Amino acid sequence: MRYIETFKEKETITGIYFCKQKATALSKTGKEYASIVLQDKTGNVDGKIWNLGSAGIREFDEKNYVYIRAEVTVFNGALQLNISEVRVAEEGTYNESDYLPTSSKDIEEMYRELIGSLKKVSNPHLQALNKMFFVDDVKFVKEFKRHSAAKRVHHGFVGGLLEHTLGVVKLCETIADRYSYLNRDLLITAAAFHDIGKVYELSDFPDNDYTDAGQLLGHIVMGCELIGNAVKELPGFPKVLERQLKHCIVAHHGEFEYGSPKKPALAEALALHYADDLDAKLETFKEAISTPVGQSGEWVEFNKMLDSNIRKTII
């Protein structure tokens, strides 16, 4: 298939793309036209259907996969498609993975590894809570496996939330081993739950965008609420344990300026914050140096998240 990032002015494109947005508007002459956004895993492009009544233009909706024929033009410095044909693509004629960035790791294997780590949690209350979410709630598990950990930035792909969560859990296991004064069960459980709010902060793929609730409340507050509601169904769950687990969620961004309403006040919250940040930053770094840099030398331009020019290590 022809990927959007390779489109060039004046080409004719035919192929199937995911229709992310669709809207109609009136032109200056009073004629209705459609404005759509097409997406594949390499990016987005705007398209216009000027002649809605023409033969090639069939019914389709936002969030459909559509076959199109279009000319690539330039408008205000950006590429734009002039669409002459469009119709809903039949299932089986396209491969979803071409439209969604996806983890390079095996999702089921990562899930098994996560479950393996959670099984070692021996506190019965935390064990019950872990089972409730990560084993018994089939709908949650399905969404958790498929979600990204971010719209952009890092782990912004199918399986990204699972990959990031597993990375944090594994780091926390090492930390708990080495700093024995930490409570292992609390730390591992907090690691597993720290970003579960993201399942509802971001919409499903292929959309993968902030939801209304995500923008208004954020995954920290949403994650706390998920835990609070769950614990009500677990008789005998100690109040102080619930509060400590929520604190780890509340404080895991480490600083007010990164959206944590409390700074880490428990050692496990502090450790979780570092593990989360380390996994996120090392993935950000990896993604940044994986981008093809072209002929301009080995240094990657200034990376905003890492606040530095960076480059691959030479050995």
Task: Write out the binding residues for a second copy, residues 250-269 only, by CB under 8 A.
Answer: 250, 256-268
Residues paired with 68 in a beta bridge: 15, 86
Question: Residues 73-102: x/- map of binding to a second copy (CB under 8 A)?
Answer: -xxxx-------------------------
Residues in the interface with a second copy (CB under 8 A) total 82
Q: Which is nearer to a second copy, 92 or 297 (CB)?
A: 297
Residues 20-59 that bind a second copy (CB under 8 A): 21-23, 25, 28, 35
User: DSSP characters for 197-217?
Assistant: THHHHBPPTTT--B-HHHHHT
The three-state secondary structure class of 303 is strand
Q: Which is nearer to a second copy, 16 or 224 (CB)?
A: 224
Tell which one of 88, 115, 221, 305 touches a second copy (CB under 8 A).
221
CA–CA distance, 192 with 54 (Å, rounded to integer): 53
Q: Which one of 4-12, 52-60, 139-147, 150-158 is the stretch in contact with a second copy (CB under 8 A)?
A: 4-12
The reply on whether position 3 binds a second copy by CB under 8 A is no
Q: Which is nearer to a second copy, 129 or 224 (CB)?
A: 224
Q: Which is nearer to a second copy, 52 or 306 (CB)?
A: 306
- In the chain, the amino acid numbered 8 is K
CA–CA distance, 17 with 9 (Å, rounded to integer): 18
Q: How many CB atoms lie within 10 A of CB 307?
A: 8
C-alpha distances in Å from residue 188, one per residue of 123, 191, 199, 200: 11, 5, 19, 22
Contact 234, 128 (CB under 8 A): yes
How near is the Cβ of 73 to a second copy at its closest, in Å?
11
Residues 123-182 that bind a second copy (CB under 8 A): 123, 167, 170-171, 174-175, 178-179, 181-182
The three-state secondary structure class of 13 is strand
How near is the Cβ of 177 to a second copy at its closest, in Å?
9
